[in-house]
Amino acid sequence: MRKSLLFVSLLVVASMLLAACGAPAASEAPAEAAATEAAAPAPAQTVLEVTVPGYGETLKAVQERGKVVCGVNAQVPGFGFVDSAGVFSGFDVDFCRALAAGIFGDPDAVEFRALTSSERFTALQAGEIDVLSRNTTWTLTRDTELTGNFVHTMFYDGQGMMVAADSGFTTLKDLEGGTICVQTGTTTELNLADVMAAEGISYTPAVFEDSNATLAAYAEGRCDAITTDKSGLVSNRASLPDPAAHVIMDVTMSKEPLGPMVRHGDDQWFDIVQWTAFALFTAEEYGITSANVDDVKASATDPNIMRLLGTEPGMGAKLGLSEEWAYNIIKLVGNYEELYNRSLGPDTPTFIPRGFNSLYTDGGLLYAPPFR
């Protein structure tokens, strides 16, 4: 392994721990937060030692361990959520299962680590997790300063705003002088400040560290609105006692490309995680599902499908996996559409129309390179 020393101030570390949704325990009121910041001493200089894996080291460690360790959210139904029995579910969670299926032929060969917004990047840098699949927005700063690589966008999102249905608010300007609940340490908080400044709208941010506390404050009427990614707002709305009493405004405040992240240094592992995403896209493109994959495999004459499913060998070996790695993903977890519909489809309480998250053939942005 290679080690690199990153000289960063504690303040810079804090600013880099940006998020799209989710986070830890206690909340603090805006006034208290301001008082805390005012009393804080000047940031000290510190040294963060990061171990960077070499080519092939991650897959070897994963195989020896017998499972993938995946960092996920635990507070956002539809993306990453853990129930009272300790069972994880959601779109990001299922991506981890797809990765495990491709490596081990077992979608349950995965250990989920519930991480807060402030924990997730540190856990990845320290090698405590193999992959971060936690509704994380791809930004230039994160891509260059966090010793990690974003693999591919799995969900195209945008920041929105939710208000009470009887508030009469329909535009951001209607929130002039209002209070907006927002989670701290997130891209959401930064985007809110940027957009409201650009629009010349004065507002008071009510800042909380925990996504559950942020939603609770909104539900208690302590804020006029709550903001996060639109996907998170759908999840929040479904969690409220009377979802119909709340509406998501028809505004998009940012671009939020969400996807998995891995550490710098191990290109083989980057390729494995990336081509897991591409296998999901390609399977949907060819109409291959968990229900029909065996029939398709037995009868396929299209070389593209044969390479995908391993009947024409070579693709798996290039990744250091079995030739049936993509077949196992599709058979055991499904294609992209199946993953999406399981957590975000029309039969779920967190339904989100696919929009940009459709295949390119259907007007969306999902597009996989050729399997050849």
Neighbours of 283 (CB within 10 A): 28
pTM assigned to the model: 0.85
Domain end point (choices 127, 155, 183)? 155
pLDDT at 49: 62
Domain boundary among 98, 133, 155: 155
Separation of alpha carbons 97 and 212, rounded Å: 25
Are 173 and 127 found together in one domain?
A: no
- Out of 136, 155, 174, a domain closes at 155
User: Is residue 7 domain-shared with residue 101, that is, in the same domain?
Assistant: yes
In a domain? residue 340: no
- With respect to residue 220, please indicate whether it lies within any of the assigned structural domains: yes
Residues 207 and 93 placed together within one structural domain of the fold: no
Total number of domains in the chain:
2
The pair of structure tokens assigned to 256 is 């939020």
Please state, in angstroms and as integers, the Cα–Cα distance from residue 314 to each residue in 35, 101, 308, 309, following that order: 61, 18, 10, 11
Asked if residue 14 is part of any domain, the answer here is: yes
C-alpha radius of gyration, the chain, whole number: 21
Per-residue pLDDT tens over the stretch 8-57: 333 333 344 444 444 333 333 333 333 333 333 444 444 456 678 999 99
Q: Give the model confidence (pLDDT) of 254-269 as tens digits.
A: 999 999 999 999 999 9
Residue at 348 is within a domain? no
Query: What pLDDT was estimated at residue 175?
Result: 98
Range in 43-47, 214-218, 239-243, 257-261 the model is least confident about: 43-47
Closest CA to 321 of 364, 367, 357, 279: 279
Shared-domain flag, residues 243 and 215: yes
Q: Tokens representing 221?
A: 């009427």
With a CB cutoff of 8 Å and minimum separation 6, the contacts of 371 are 278, 282, 304, 307, 308, 315, 326
In a domain, 56, yes or no: yes
The tokens describing 7, both together, are: 């000289």
Range of the domain at 201: 157-256
Closest CA to 20 of 69, 76, 71: 76
Is 67 part of any domain? yes
